[in-house]
């Protein structure tokens, strides 16, 4: 093997070393820089799994699919009301709405009880006491404000989105709930009159019976709206 003189200057036959190698010094540096860049790039790609046989990606895809339901939702996840769908979800939404208004009536009745005041003066004195039924009813009328509660409308919209096959029956439910809401507001106003001595207990009981009847009718509409 011929000996190469690596010192600067002339090569074995009196030619500069860079010419013996067949390139200029600058070209050699460019080539070496390019090779170094390629080596770095290959190392990065290898570290990222670029040269794997694809089984890892397939396994990841399979794993992602295993965490989904047939409809594309996450496995174990809920849909709407307590994870129910379609008819069942709509039924629960409407049933919960009816119960909400029944709870408002029950809360109001518990507040009022059978306590009425004989005259406006006695009522005003009781109203000044924050622990009295008069003050409690006034607070109840502000919040949750049953006289202005129209939450049944949102329930109807959500039920229609979940299961809108029987729209006419759902509209009937909404009409019956509107009546229940109006009669509940009338009961609240009647309760205030009862406390002030302007209405009697039978009047208050009759007003409550209207609300109860309305809600029973609306509850009966649910089967037709979600069947």
Mean of the per-residue pLDDT values for the chain?
A: 76
| pLDDT at site 85 | 82
Q: What is the pLDDT of residue 164?
A: 80
Give the pLDDT confidence score for residue 47 in this predicted structure.
Answer: 45
DSSP state of 68: B
207 within 8 A of 187, measured Cβ to Cβ = yes
In terms of C-beta density within 10 A (0-12 exposed, 13-18 middle, 19 or more buried), how is residue 138 classed?
middle
Q: Which three-class secondary structure state does DSSP give residue 83?
A: helix
Largest CA distance in the chain: 132
CA distance readout (Å), 158 to 74, 178, 180: 21, 16, 19
* Contacts (Cβ under 8 Å, ≥6 apart) of 95: 219, 222
CA count, 13 A, side-chain hemisphere, 144? 13
* Contact between residue 161 and residue 155 where contact means Cβ atoms under 8 Å apart: no
pLDDT at 157 over 70: yes
Which alpha helices (DSSP H) does the chain contain, by range?
Answer: 17-20, 25-47, 55-66, 86-112, 120-127, 133-142, 151-162, 167-195, 201-226
Q: Bridge-partner residues for 171, per DSSP?
A: none
Q: What digits encode the pLDDT tens for the residues 68-116? A: 333 333 333 334 455 578 999 999 999 999 999 999 999 999 999 999 9
176-214 exposure pattern, b = at least 16 Cβ within 10 A, e = fewer: bbbbbbebbbebbebbbebbbeebeeeebeebbebbbeb
pTM of the model: 0.64
- Residue 39's pLDDT is what? 47
pLDDT at position 82 is 53
Quick: pLDDT tens for 167-208.
999 999 999 999 999 999 999 999 999 999 999 999 999 999
Which residues are CB-contacts of 164 (< 8 A; sequence separation ≥ 6)?
Answer: 170
pLDDT average, residue stretch 139-145: 98
Percent of the chain at pLDDT above 70? 63
* Structure tokens that stand for 95 in this block: 């049933």
For the record, the structure tokens of 205 come out as: 């009981």
| Residue 59 confidence (pLDDT) | 36
Q: Show the tokens assigned to 92.
A: 């629960």
Check residue 17 and give its pLDDT. Answer: 37
Alpha-carbon gap, residue 80 to 72, rounded angstroms? 15
Beta strands (DSSP E) in 93-209 are: none
Q: Distance between CA 35 and CA 187 in Å, rounded?
A: 88
Per-residue pLDDT reduced to its tens digit, 23-79? 444 444 333 344 444 444 444 344 444 444 444 333 333 443 333 333 333 333 334
């Amino acid at each position: 093997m011929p000996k190469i003189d690596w010192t600067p200057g002339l090569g074995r036959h009196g030619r500069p070393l860079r010419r013996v190698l067949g390139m200029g010094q600058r070209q050699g540096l460019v080539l070496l820089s390019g090779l170094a860049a390629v080596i770095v790039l290959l190392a990065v790609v290898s570290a990222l799994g670029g040269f794997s046989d694809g089984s890892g990606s397939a396994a990841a895809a399979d794993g992602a699919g295993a965490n989904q339901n047939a409809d594309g939702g996450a496995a174990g996840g809920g849909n709407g009301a307590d994870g129910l769908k379609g008819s069942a979800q709509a039924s629960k939404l409407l049933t919960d709405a009816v119960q909400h208004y029944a709870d408002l009536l029950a809360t109001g009745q518990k507040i009022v009880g059978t306590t009425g005041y004989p005259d406006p003066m006695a009522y005003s004195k009781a109203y000044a006491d924050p622990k009295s039924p008069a003050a409690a009813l006034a607070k109840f009328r502000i919040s949750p404000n049953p006289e202005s509660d129209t939450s049944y409308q949102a329930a109807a919209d959500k039920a229609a989105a979940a299961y809108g096959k029987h729209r006419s029956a759902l509209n009937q439910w909404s009409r019956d709930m509107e009546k229940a809401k109006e009669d509940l507001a009338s009961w609240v106003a009647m309760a205030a009159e009862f406390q002030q001595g302007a209405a009697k207990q039978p009047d208050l009981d009759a007003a409550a019976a209207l609300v109860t009847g309305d809600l029973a009718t609306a509850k009966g509409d649910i089967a037709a709206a979600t069947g």
